[in-house]
Amino acid sequence: MLHTIDVNFLGTENSIACYLLESEDGPILFETGPHSTYSTLIEKIKAIGVNPSDIKHVFITHIHLDHAGAAWAFAEKGAIIYLHPFGFDHMNDPSKLMSSAKRIYQDKMDMLWGQMNPIPMEQLRPTQHGEKIKIGNTEIISWFTPGHAVHHIAWQIGRKLIAGDVAGVKIKKGIVVPPCPPPDINVEDWVDSINLIRGLDLDEVYLTHFGGIQNINEHLDQLEFILHDWANWMKPHFDKGTPPKEVTPLFVEYVKNQLIEGGIDNKGTAQYEAANPSWMSVAGLMRYWKKKVPTND
Report all structural domains of the chain as residue ranges with CATH numbers, in order of start: 2-223 (3.60.15.10)
Separation of alpha carbons 264 and 169, rounded Å: 13
Render 234-255 in DSSP notation, one character per residue: HHHHHHHT--HHHHHHHHHHHH
Residues 28, 2 contacting (CB under 8 angstroms): no
Q: What is the pLDDT of residues 247-263, one digit of tens each?
A: 999 999 999 999 999 98
The predicted model scores a pTM of: 0.95
Separation of alpha carbons 226 and 296, rounded Å: 30
Collect the ranges in the chain with pLDDT lower than 70: 294-297
Separation of alpha carbons 164 and 152, rounded Å: 8
Q: What is the pLDDT of residues 187-216, one digit of tens each?
A: 999 999 999 999 999 999 999 999 999 999
Quick one: CA torsion of 46, 271, 67, 167, rounded to 10 degrees?
120
Render 111-165 in DSSP notation, one character per residue: HHH-------GGGEEE--TT-EEEETTEEEEEEE--SS-TT-EEEEETTEEEEET
Supply the pLDDT for residue 295: 60
* Length in residues, the chain: 297
**H-type helices in the chain, by residue range?**
38-48, 65-68, 71-76, 88-92, 95-105, 109-113, 187-198, 216-240, 244-261, 266-275, 278-292
Distance of CA 88 to the CA centre of its chain: 17
What are the Cα distances from residue 78, in Å, to 5, 58, 73, 106, 152?
21, 10, 9, 31, 24
Angle CA(224)–CA(228)–CA(206) in degrees, nearest 5?
30
Separation of alpha carbons 187 and 147, rounded Å: 6
Q: Find, among 88, 96, 167, 91, the residue nearest to 128 by Cα.
A: 88
Supply the pLDDT for residue 109: 86
Separation of alpha carbons 213 and 182, rounded Å: 26
Supply the pLDDT for residue 297: 47
* Helix pair angle (244-261, 216-240), 10° resolution: 150
